[in-house]
Structure 1
Amino acid sequence: MHIHVLQHTPNEGPGSIARWSEKHGHQLTVHHPAHFRDVLPRAEEVDFLVILGGPMSPNDHLPWIAEERALIAQLMAQHKPIFGACFGAQQIAKVLGGKVLDAPYKEVGWAPVQRVSDCIPGLPERMEALHWHEQMFTIPDQAELLFSTALVKNQGFILGNIFGLQFHFEPEADNIREMVANDGEYANDAKNALHQTGATILAHGIPEENQEVMFRLLDYLAKQTN
């Protein structure tokens, strides 16, 4: 299987998604549409699409953002699995007819997420995830709410072989150090409802189960290609 990853900022890479791909012997290609022109893959090249986070909004009027949504729509029509994190999930939601709005609270740091659906077997009821956002998606028609937090209800959705998470399970330790080193000031903000700084985010460490949960979600999507 050939996995294509859309990465939108240097400090938010595929993390454990690349580890999962290697474990299963898949090919993985990373594209940088925000930094290079005409680098989006052709739909026929993609077996599985991953859309990562970034500081931009799907509501921004940039040509590559619209082109990315056109690719997502093509892959949906071809019933190919798609996973989006943060900005990526917002992009998917827009293609499905949802909206991207300012969230009621800015969430930057570690906070528990609650599973509110049993559609994916084996997921814990409560997990600790990394949040790095101040916008959110509305749940598209026909999609099912998958995760919520105490501050922002719409944290994850699933629709067949498509799902999006507003938060992050994919970062590994080096990824989080990179995020804090380059974008730590985003956390050091009075609007951050989680009241965490870059230093406290680093000190928290990554819960051991996060990679397992990320792998389980990707396994579920990969099975939908059969």
Structure 2
Amino acid sequence: MQIHFVQHETFEAPGAYLLWAQERGYLVSFSRVYQGDALPSAVENIDVLVVLGGPQSPSTTKAKCAHFDSLAEQALIKKCVEAGKAVVGVCLGSQLIGESLGAPHGHSPEREIGNFPIQLTEAGKQDKLLAHFGDVLTIGHWHNDMPGLTADAQILAVSEGCPRQIVKYTDLVYGFQCHAELNIDVVKALIASETDLDGQSQRYKFVQDSASILGFDYHEMNTKLYQFLDNLVAEYQSS
């Protein structure tokens, strides 16, 4: 299996996604666009494309962020979808999936930073790749926006602060607005990149302070993510 990551910033690291791929012995490649790496020109050797998060939005122009080419990433995602590859989008990546399929992203009702429960919808409880998450799972968040919905998209999970936490676009294409990949190393980098996180926690209902985020046990969400990814690979191999 070949897993390709598109990474937008050093602090938006793949975390448990990368650890999963390494533990399974899969081949891993990167487009670290923040350091000038090119996106793949062909997708034949990609089995799973993982597009990570970032402070950008799909509407961010190259004039605002020279290393981020939203349209090029959308074209890569669409090429992978059309080629029958498995695609997972995380936060910004989930929004880019929607955009690539003609569904504009939206602004989340609430800013969410920290670890808060998501609830599976009825569609989520019936989804064979995701049902093991259980009815409720506390999971990581770090966002203002949310992915758009195509006519065939299914919302698999919601939170109190955001109505689109996990979206299924096809049997092989999933958007995670939430961050199941977080671990201590990743959250340390995210906290360092954030402006006045502790001050924000006093102003926003769904923003936790740095001590709460650093003191959380990320094992359960990482384990649930591993099982989802194993299920996704099995679905891809059987398709």
- Are positions 1:194 and 2:199 aligned together? no
Q: Residue 194 of structure 1: SS of its match in structure 2?
A: coil
Equivalent position of 2:96 in the other structure: 91
Q: Of 96, 106, 116, which residue of structure 2 is paired with 1:101?
A: 106
> Please, which runs of 5 or more residues in structure 2 have no aligned partner?
63-67
1:35-184 correspondence to structure 2 within 5 Å: 35-36=35-36, 38-40=38-40, 42-62=42-62, 64-116=69-121, 117=124, 118-119=126-127, 120=129, 121-158=131-168, 159-183=170-194
Q: What amino acid maps onto 1:8 in structure 2? A: H
Alignment partners' CA distance in 2, 1:31 and 1:37: 5
Distance 1:131 1:4 in 2: 23
Distance 1:98 1:17, change over 3 A: same
* Per-residue CA distance 1:113-162 (angstroms, 9 max, x = gap): 01112213422111111111011123222111111001211111112100
Question: What's the TM-score, normalizing by structure 2?
Answer: 0.87
TM superposition score normalised by structure 1: 0.92
Identity, in percent, stands at 26
Q: Does the alignment pair 1:223 with 2:228?
A: no
Question: What's the CA shift for 1:224?
Answer: 2.2
Name the amino acid aligned to 1:185.
D
SS of the residue 2:30 aligns to: strand
Contact 1:93–1:139 (CA<8 Å) still a contact in 2? yes
CA distance in structure 2 between the partners assigned to 1:165 and 1:177 by the alignment: 21
Q: Secondary structure at the match of 1:224?
A: helix
1:31: Cα distance to partner? 1.4
**For 2:188, what is the secondary structure of its paired residue?**
helix
Kept after mapping to 1: 8 A contact 2:119/2:135: yes
Equivalent position amino acid for 2:211 in 1: A
Query: Does the 8 Å contact 1:8/1:32 carry over to 2?
Result: yes
CA 1:186–1:35 in structure 2 vs 1: closer, same or farther (change >3 Å)?
A: farther
Report the AA paired with residue 92 of structure 2.
F
- The number of residue pairs the alignment matches comes to 225
Q: 1:187 to 1:72 in 2, by over 3 A?
A: farther
Deviates more, 1:152-161 or 1:58-67: 58-67
Q: Cα distance 1:193–1:162, how it changes in 2: closer, same or farther (>3 A)?
A: same
Cα shift readout 1:66-114 (whole Å, capped 9, x = no counterpart): 1111011111110100001100000001112212122111111111001
Aligned counterparts of 2:75 and 2:207: Cα–Cα separation in 1: 37
For the structure 1 residues 225 and 109, does the alpha-carbon distance in structure 2 shift closer, same or farther, using more than 3 Å as the test? Answer: same
Any idea what SS the aligned residue of 2:194 has?
A: helix
